[in-house]
């Protein structure tokens, strides 16, 4: 790891602590998205489970949030950066000849949900709890659907995104949050609400 990258991680961690403190003072509603009623799993996830049944045959478990230590943040940033730099963007139509297919980008190509799936797998392999790593569906400003990975921590919910090199608190993104996996069961999805008075834009920090 280069000294420049170490400085970047340290700077990112310091900003994250500051953001967490600011969010906490503003209220818990900025740290954690609102959970609503049950939602239908995306067809991409359903078909992913058909292709990867072992990964989806899990028992219900208690929700777990990650304690966001300095080391945890460093690991998170490292994996997020590696996936974003090593996977090349390609639409499902160009890749597989279908409109929608969730898969691991093991051949080096994928779209948004494939980036998120790989980050999720790598973090689980690194010892992170599955219950804190949630596939999430959002809407961009133009209304297009998009997938990201939500990481639930004691300092808020952070978003790993192939379209953004920074790891942002969910409320710092410009997305409208639609639904995501339940913490207790990845095959059960829940709708999401947004306590922000207006959809904020990503910070310039």
Report how far residue 205's alpha carbon sits from residue 202's, in angstroms, rounded to the nearest whole number: 9
pLDDT at 16: 52
- Give tens-digit pLDDT for 97-124: 999 999 999 999 999 999 999 999 999 9
User: What is the three-state SS of the chain?
Assistant: CCHHHHHHHHHHHHHHHHHHHHHHHHCHHHCCCEEEEEECCCHHHHHHHHHCHHHHCCCCCCCCCECCCHHHHHHHHHHHHHHHHHCEECCHHHHHCCCCCCCCCCCCEECHHHHHHHHHHHHHHCCCCHHHEEEEEEECCCCCEEEEEEEEECCEEEEEECCEEEEEEHHHCCCEEEEEECCCCCCCEEEEECCCCCCCCCCCC
Report how far residue 14's alpha carbon sits from residue 9's, in angstroms, rounded to the nearest whole number: 9
Q: What is the mean pLDDT of residues 128-154?
A: 97
Q: At residue 17, does pLDDT exceed 80?
A: no
> Under a CB-based contact definition with an 8 Å cutoff, are residues 167 and 159 in contact?
yes
> Under a CB-based contact definition with an 8 Å cutoff, are residues 9 and 73 in contact?
yes
What are phi and psi for residue 199, nearest 5 degrees? Answer: -75, 115
* CATH class name, domain 3-193: alpha beta
pLDDT at 194: 79
Q: What is the mean pLDDT of residues 49-70?
A: 94
**Residue 51 CA neighbour count, 13 Å, CB half:** 10
pLDDT at 195: 73
Q: At residue 8, does pLDDT exceed 70?
A: no
Q: What is the mean pLDDT of residues 8-21?
A: 50
Residue 166's CB is within 10 A of a number of other CB atoms, namely 17
Q: What is the CA radius of gyration of the chain?
A: 16
Whether the pTM exceeds 0.85: the reply is no
Report how far residue 178's alpha carbon sits from residue 138's, in angstroms, rounded to the nearest whole number: 5
Report how far residue 12's alpha carbon sits from residue 164's, in angstroms, rounded to the nearest whole number: 14
Q: What is the mean pLDDT of residues 122-134?
A: 97
pLDDT at 30: 86
């Amino acid at each position: 790891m280069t000294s420049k990258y170490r400085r970047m991680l340290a700077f990112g961690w310091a900003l994250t602590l500051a953001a967490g403190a600011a969010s906490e003072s503003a209220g818990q509603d900025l740290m954690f998205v609102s959970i609503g009623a049950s939602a239908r799993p995306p067809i991409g996830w359903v078909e992913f489970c058909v292709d990867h049944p072992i990964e989806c045959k899990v028992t219900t478990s208690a929700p777990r949030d990650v304690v966001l230590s300095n080391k945890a943040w460093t690991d998170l940033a490292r994996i997020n950066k590696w996936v974003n730099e090593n996977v090349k963007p390609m639409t499902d139509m160009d890749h597989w000849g279908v409109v929608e297919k969730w898969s691991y980008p093991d051949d080096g190509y994928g779209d948004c949900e494939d980036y998120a799936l790989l980050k999720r797998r790598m973090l689980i392999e690194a010892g992170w709890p599955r219950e804190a790593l949630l596939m999430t569906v959002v809407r961009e400003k133009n209304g297009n659907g998009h997938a990201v990975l939500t990481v639930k921590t004691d300092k808020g919910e952070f978003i790993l995104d192939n379209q953004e090199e920074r790891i942002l608190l969910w409320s710092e993104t410009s997305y409208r949050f639609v639904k995501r996996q339940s913490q207790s069961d990845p095959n059960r999805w829940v709708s999401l609400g947004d306590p922000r008075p207006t959809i904020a834009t990503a910070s310039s920090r």
